[in-house]
Structure 1
Amino acid sequence: MKNVVVGAVSAVLLFAMGMSIVACNVNGKNKGEKISADSVWFDTDIYKINLGIDTTRDVDQTAAWIAGTDDENMVVVTKGRYKMPASVRTLEEASAYVIAKVSVIDKKNNTMVKTIDLNDEITASDDINSAELEDGKLKIKISSYDMKTYSVKTIEKVLDIGSGKVTETHDFSTEMERPADKTSKVGDYNVDTFINWSENGSSCTLAIYSPDGEMKKAELKEQGADIYEVPLILSLDEETALVAATTNAGIRFYSLDLKEGKIKDADPSEYEWIDAEYLRETKTINGELYYSTPLGLYKIDMEKKATEMVLDYGRCDLNRSLLASLEITEKTDDTYVLCGQKDYDMRYDANLAATEFYIVKLSKAAKNPHAGKTVLDLYAPYGQVGETINEAILKFNKTNKDYFIEVTNKYTTVNYDDFSEIDSEDEYENITLNKGAKMSSRLAMDIMNGEGPDILMNTSDYGQLNNDNYLVDLSPYFNDLDKDKYFTNLIDAAKTDGKLYQMPVCYTINGIFTDRKNAGSSGVGFTTEEYQEFISGTLNGEDLITSGQAHYFAKLFSAMSDKFIKDGKADFSGSDFKVLADYVKDNIPEKAPSWSTYKGPEINNKAAYISCYAMSGYFYELEEINGDITVLGIPSTDGRGPMIQAYTSFGVSSQASNVSACIEFIKTVLSDEIQEELAMEENYVLNREAFHKGGMAAVEFYNGPKGDMIFGFDHMTGEPLKNRIKFSEKDIDNLESIISSCSVMYTDDQAINIILIEEMPAYFLGQKDLDSVIKITQDRVQKVLDERK
């Protein structure tokens, strides 16, 4: 099962990263465009509704959604549970912790009319799958687990909204042994999705319920393809649905006969315009189909086979992250109504989402208040920016008199590659390197042509861009940062030839997580010789880095690229290159182990090769690894420390409409307020005080009931621990010292790594001597570097 899960996770990552890249001007705008007075803007009214949850109790989890509206009211269903003590043993005891409520809200005044408690109808063995309002009746579908027969049955309870009483109960047999992974309303039918995992792969079962309650099953299987998710089931006509499945072979489309329960392949060319990643939640309003993305609300036109943005979340004064987490409930010509719970990401207050339900009304304004400002395009992959960065954008747009930042996903992704044959880390990295090289080149080309974005977010992995031709050197604008206030060593680590092209804001720590006593002579990393001794001794011969020779060498090269490429000149003739090459040739297997057979190194809680993300990730490693914990750099010639990898970063285009305005925005992101907000979302940040404050909030949070769920159980047996690990300020201080030891920022130059992977095996396999390989490799790399000038 472990190997299946590893493969699934890798394939999902590949799905996210491995789509063909197409450049397009999404908004149809020209660079440096000024906002006109008659351009669309929305005035907003926002209401928070109390759902009646007892916040004096510790809330474990909740979910709330709109079940429907009528002329006067909207109906919200809330499900979840309060935190249960370990002493709870019986179903009756557990049911006292169930949250099951129906809220009736007046649409005109946006006030609560009444709350109906369903605790007499819902037990701890039940789960509300869906709810639909029809003629004053709420039809609630419930998956009920029978602990005697170990089976699941689906029950529909009909709630009369007026009386607050259940008037009907219908029993639908599913013949399933567990609740559905997802329930979709498709016309008059309901479809439950079940993903079936096994050692041999994964498939999907669809349970289709007709309007009269009859159930039919359709098995979704494909030779050579593992199905990981069904993000979309979309009605094509009264009895046919389109099914989109995420697989290790990319996105697959199927046609489902709802009446007969039969499924067949659909022509993928008919649906290549559909981005199933964002179409996972659709809503029908006034007969029209809508879905939400991080950028805005889109309408689907099945006849034209097209989607259209009808509501740009950046064209109002509310955080686009809030709007993206809501769903549309009503629409007129000039007004949209969105409702739902806010997504709080990884905030430390577990009760925040439980207590808040939002109703947002957006009405077209007579005039755009930002008329006359020049637009700065901020590119973010997939349009994903995050709540706090969105707050920084709002702050900038409100305070800057001349410029207005708009978020764009200019480089859209439409085609899907086949990953079904991938079975190792090397094969995975071949895909990501090639995709990264294409994306990096596309950005570089557009910047040179004056068509690129003004601000580039989260592109620090693209080493090709770290060049004066593409990005502005940020160093002169941030040389005065106080090293006592900020981790300025990370800014130094991000520099290329002494120039700062991409500002790291939030980051992971990449390296060897182990006891401090295992460090080499530098105290922060290993030389190649020291690392081999560490493997053969402490780790009993099991290398933590599982790449094959070519990819292993590329990893080591990237972490030391400052030794080999300076000021646009490649020089591989020195001893450092030879040391790395000989180490790999003598100690590393030709190919990475197969995911199908590799079980992982047996390291007995002594070390792990990790990318440490978030405070919870650090705490998890503290629990797993024994000793005085630190993170050490991967093998190098000088024993350098661990790397950071920025997952939130900012660069400024060399062709930006106004560099000073872009710099002003980055300074906003580095302000105390924004840094602290980022830290309270579990991010590692640059501001030391904000980092420490966020760390101490994490200590309190994970030492409490929420932490018990993560750290209070034996991961092998599932049994509660008598003495679970507790965290302290000492752990935060230790993490701060680890961050202070980071000296390199991960930033692959994909095109150069591809050359290394192609050429170095000739030496590793004894086909050519090293000098010959160096000459060919260096010449090819230099040619690439020269083409960028």
Structure 2
Amino acid sequence: MKRCRLILYMLCLVFIMMACGKEDTETKKNDMVYTSENLATAGVKGMVNSFVVWQGRIYMYTIELDDEDEIKQIPHLYSVDLSGNGLEERDLPNVEGKIENLIFLTDNENLEMFLEIQTESEQDRCFYVVDYHSREKKRLENFVQFSSEEAMVRVLKVKQGQIVVATSKRFLVWNEDGTGQTEIKSQEPYIECIARTKDGDIVSTQTDQKKMKISRLNAETWKWESVLTVKNISSVSGGESLIDGRDYDFYYRDDTGIYGYSFEEKKQIKLLDYVASNIQSSYIYSIVPVALDQMVGIAEDGNNGKEKFVLYTKVDPNEVTEKTILVYGAMRLNERVKDAVIQFNRNNPKYEIQYRDYSSYEDPQQQFAVDVATGKVPDIIDLSDVSIKQYVEKGLLENLLPYYQKDEDVHLNDMLSSVVKAMEIKGGYYYISPSFRISTLVGKKKIVNDTERCNLKRLEELAQENQEASLLICNNKEDMLNVLLAYSINDYIDWENGVCKFDGERFKDLLNFCNQGTYLDNDSEQNETEQLRMDKVLLTTASIGAEDVEIYRSVFGEEVSFVGYPGQEEGETYFSFQDVLGMSVQSENKEGVWQFLKMFMMLDYQGQIQDAGLINAGIPTREDAFEMYMKTRTATEDYTDEFGVEISPMKYDWGDGDVEISVTPLTLDEEKQFRNLVSQTHLTGYYEETVMGIVEEESSNYFYGQQSLDKTIQVIQDRVTKYVNENR
């Protein structure tokens, strides 16, 4: 009966969601494929500050940092053709004062530069428009200085040559000769992005996480009119969401591709699909169409982090190779996984992965439930923000153990033994993860009395022994409960049998302990690091990598203990796995899914997770890759790793307020402490947002005296038990 009720409920949702799908752009996938060609711009110095494509050439303004004086900036003005050749450098315009910013302005006949200039004789900045070729200049009269609450969004040249400066609050308009400044109010509270239409008007966007509203400002009447609202849009990138018109009246982009819009036809059409074109959208800083089938953009080089110009050219639809489609679905798309998708799509001759971004829907969980009911579950499920144990009990995830057992390239025993133990669920393995961090509480070793782990009783003793100090940076009752329960909440839930244990003494003791906290936040003028050093705060939450052993010893000013979070008998440290992916049991292409999943578990992939100095850099789950990672943290001399990468000894600066730390290779003692921490961790902190929400809501009633402890526990027990049985 339980299964029948669940299926009936989800089928009902189908009818609710049928009209809530993505905008239909009436474009076949093969008609949205572009190739990418890096433009060789040898001789260009500095980082591109602004650029424009005009009459077949790319014009750019760059800023170079002086090798001897990093504060000193050297500006350059370049142009190249669309093949990256024919580099020309011109002197900057001769003006009185320092050029703080240069923005290109174009129309069909003219290329001009908008200059923001700081002079010694004027307290405020002044603004000029200078012709690129003749260098004729005109000053914008009566330029209203921006308030502290507004920033410049963009500068455009529109119909009849007017110059428009858009701030986050308003539009300032000058005649072509720089006179007659007027102000146009925005019809939205905040201007995010503007673009010039093909006929010289202005379009502006207002976005939230689910939709983008586009309005048109007539550059002759200065009246607003609504154009369209794009629903279920995927991760609009704010200032880069609109693109000037060319063959279409204007263009817009989201995290899936680029669209052209026609005023006459009153519809948009998807022109470029990032996934089908093997383009990582988050690497694109800016992109502009230069022909009906070509675009030019600035993108980050994923190999070295430097910027590059890229020419994107449309592929003949008849030449696009047909592949079997796999769908990667996520409540929130993961950038590292997207990088892996691009790599997989380029190299795999049989399969191609496409995205399904549930965060673009009004109710992501409900949409996923509809997909389950209709047999449209993604082949690859991102499990980072969901309850994995719940999904396992529902039968949504494939057991990967048989795949490990028959694969010639990856095996369970390739992984760290503690990781293998932590990943096991009911004798199976339902997800992969290439990396992790370790979640724990950390404190001074002398204060916790050499305790390796702190259970709830030991935390109570610490609080009693140090009554002048706070146990945590925030002793607010609700925050304490969240910190002390979040990782261990699955101890109270048996998804397999639908049983909960919130009515036991352990949970009762936890609520009692948290109720000894305050109703206030920590209002000290000192930051957390200073309070930890001075023993005003005893413990802090930590997500640990190897170098953090050294960092926390420096933070506390002495040796530390990683005491975990209160578990069933003693304190427990938890693996926080990254890039967690599973295979849908409904997938019709499981072999293709496994080819993608195993990629994350190969040495070729994990052996490159080693960037010292990256915040929250992952620790490889493979044992051989883990040893490579540890070598990057302990080496005292330069060496070349197994992939031919030259590695230097770890050295970077870490700081918090007045505390500054130079992070260097780990000592033998620090290395031993971290290795012990990894080997002794055997649990996973599974995500249980809904259950935590129930517990926090009901516990708040107890903390504020609105409900007794026994009543609170019974309500939590009943509500969570009901939720578990309705959703397993």
What TM-score do you get using the length of structure 1 for normalisation?
0.70
In 1, Cα distance between the equivalents of 2:575 and 2:185?
A: 45
Alpha-carbon distance in 2 for matches of 1:252, 1:504: 38
Partner residue, 1:451: 376
Q: For residue 530 of structure 1, what is the amino acid of its counterpart?
A: R
Deviation at 1:67, TM superposition (A): 1.0
Cα gap change, 1:123 to 1:99, in 2 (>3 Å): farther
Amino acid at match of 1:357: F
Match of 1:296 in 2: 257
Please give the secondary structure, in 2, of the residue aligned with 1:503: coil
Question: Counterpart of 2:8?
Answer: none
- State yes or no: 1:394 paired with 2:311: no
Paired letter, 1:330: V
Alpha-carbon separation, structure 2, partners of 1:179 and 1:767: 42
Residue of structure 2 in register with 1:101 after alignment: 76
Task: Say which of 35, 39, 51 aligns to 1:48.
Answer: 39
Amino acid at match of 1:73: R
Question: Once the two structures are superposed, what CA deviation does each residue of 1:419-468 show, in whole Å capped at 9, x if it has no partner?
Answer: xxxxxxxxxxxxxxxxxxx5345424522431221111253444543434
Counterpart mapping for 1:29-428 below 5 A: 39-40=30-31, 42=33, 44=35, 46-53=37-44, 62-63=47-48, 65-70=50-55, 72-82=56-66, 85=69, 97-107=72-82, 110-116=83-89, 118=91, 126-133=99-106, 138-146=111-119, 151-160=124-133, 166-168=135-137, 170=139, 173-176=143-146, 181-186=151-156, 188=158, 189-193=163-167, 211-214=176-179, 215=181, 230-233=191-194, 242=204, 244=206, 277-278=236-237, 280-281=239-240, 282-284=242-244, 285-300=246-261, 307-316=268-277, 318-321=278-281, 324-332=284-292, 335-342=293-300, 344=302, 349=304, 352-354=305-307, 356-369=308-321, 371=322, 373-381=323-331, 383-386=333-336, 389-395=338-344, 398-399=347-348, 401=350, 403-413=351-361
Deviations 1:308-342, CA, capped at 9 Å, x for gaps: 422112223x443477445133232xx23232132
What displacement does 1:254 show? 9.1
**Aligned positions of 1:511-590 closer than 5 A:** 511-519=440-448, 523=452, 525-534=453-462, 540-544=468-472, 546=474, 548-550=476-478, 552-566=480-494, 567-568=496-497, 569-585=499-515, 587-589=516-518
Moved more, 451-460 or 271-280: 271-280
Distance 1:130 1:468, change over 3 A: same
CA contact (8 A) 1:668 1:674 kept: yes
Secondary structure of the structure 1 residue equivalent to 2:591: helix
- Mapped partners of 1:678, 1:534: distance in 2: 38
Letter in 2 for 1:77: Y
Q: Is the 8 A contact 1:73 1:106 kept in 2?
A: yes
Amino acid at match of 2:396: Y
Q: Does 2:395 match 1:469? A: yes
Instruction: Indicate the residue corresponding to 2:715 in structure 1.
Output: 776
Q: How far 1:44 sits from its partner (Å)?
A: 2.5
> How far is the alpha carbon of 1:124 from its aligned partner?
11
Deviation at residue 619 of structure 1 after TM alignment: 8.4
- Partner AA of 2:488 in structure 1: M
Q: Please name the residue that 1:665 is paired with.
A: 596
Say which of 428, 432, 440 aligns to 1:503.
432
Determine the C-alpha separation between the residues in 2 that align with 1:311 and 1:245: 21
Unaligned 5+ segments in structure 1 are: 1-19, 30-35, 87-93, 195-203, 415-437
Segments of 5+ residues of structure 2 without an aligned counterpart are 1-15, 639-644
Q: Deviations over 1:72-105 (max 9, x none)?
A: 423233234245547xxxxxxx5xx424333322
SS in 2 for 1:139: strand
Name the SS of the counterpart of 1:286 in structure 2: coil
Moved more, 734-743 or 126-135: 734-743
Q: CA deviation digits over 1:473-506, x for unaligned, max 9?
A: 3345457977886445345435555544333334
Indicate the SS of the match to 1:280: helix
**211 and 520 in structure 1: CA distance in 2 versus 1, 3 angstrom threshold:** farther
Partner of 1:7: none
Q: Deviations over 1:110-141 (max 9, x none)?
A: 13212315478699954335223456864233
Q: Distance in 2 between matches of 1:359 and 1:374?
A: 28
Find the aligned partners of 1:308 and 1:613 in 2 and give their Cα distance. Answer: 47
Q: CA deviation at 1:749?
A: 2.0
- Which residue identity lines up with residue 674 of structure 1 in the other structure? Y
Amino acid at match of 1:213: G
What is the identity percentage for the equivalent residue pairs of Structure 1 and Structure 2? 14
Q: 1:42 and 1:689, CA in 2 relative to 1: closer, same or farther beyond 3 A? A: same
Amino acid at match of 1:559: Y
Q: Distance in 2 between matches of 1:594 and 1:205?
A: 39
- Aligned-partner Cα distance in 1 for 2:122–2:682: 58
Residues 319 and 273 of structure 1, relative CA distance in 2, 3 Å threshold: closer
* Rg comparison, structure with higher value: 2
Q: Where does residue 4 of structure 1 map in the other structure?
A: none
Q: Once the two structures are superposed, what CA deviation does each residue of 1:490-529 show, in whole Å capped at 9, x if it has no partner?
A: 4543555554433333445444354454557651x42234
Deviation (angstroms), 1:471: 1.9
Asked if 2 retains the 8 angstrom alpha-carbon contact of 1:389 and 1:669, the reply is: no
- 1:379, 1:456 within 8 Å by CA — same for their partners in 2? yes
2:551 and 2:170 mapped to 1: Cα distance?
A: 34
Query: For the residues of structure 2 that align with 1:118 and 1:618, how far apart are their CA atoms?
Result: 52
Aligned to 1:423: none
Compared CA separation, residues 106 and 769, structure 1 to 2 (3 A): closer
For residue 583 of structure 1, report the CA deviation from its aligned partner: 1.3
The question of whether the paired residues in 1 share the 8 Å contact of 2:422 and 2:683 is answered with yes
Q: Would the alpha carbon gap of residues 473 and 547 (structure 1) be closer, same or farther in structure 2, given more than 3 Å must change?
A: farther
Looking at structure 2, the residues matched to 776 and 322 of structure 1 have their Cα atoms a distance apart, in angstroms, of 45
CA distance in 2, matches of 1:125, 1:154: 11
8 Å contact kept, 2:300–2:306: yes
- Contact 1:25/1:410 (<8 A) preserved: no
Measure the CA separation in 1 of the matches of 2:157 and 2:136: 24
Tell me if structure 1 keeps the 8 A contact 2:551–2:663: no
Q: 1:78/1:240 Cα in 2 relative to 1: closer, same or farther (>3 Å)?
A: closer
Contact 2:156 2:196 in 1 (8 A): yes
SS in 1 for 2:484: helix
1:376 CA drift (Å): 1.2
CA separation of 1:513 and 1:502: change in aligned 2, threshold 3 A: same
User: 2:153·2:192 contact (CA, 8 Å) conserved in 1?
Assistant: no
SS at match of 2:396: coil
Q: Secondary structure at the match of 2:300?
A: coil
Q: Is the 8 A contact 1:326 1:341 kept in 2?
A: yes
1:680-695 aligned within 5 A = 680=611, 682=614, 683-684=617-618, 685-687=620-622, 690=625
Q: 2:558 aligns with which of 597, 606, 627?
A: 627
Cα distance in 2 for residues equivalent to 1:187 and 1:22: 43
Cα distance in 1, alignment partners of residues 438 and 130 from structure 2: 50
Deviation for aligned residue 1:208:
5.2
Contact 1:300/1:308, CA 8 A, preserved across alignment:
yes
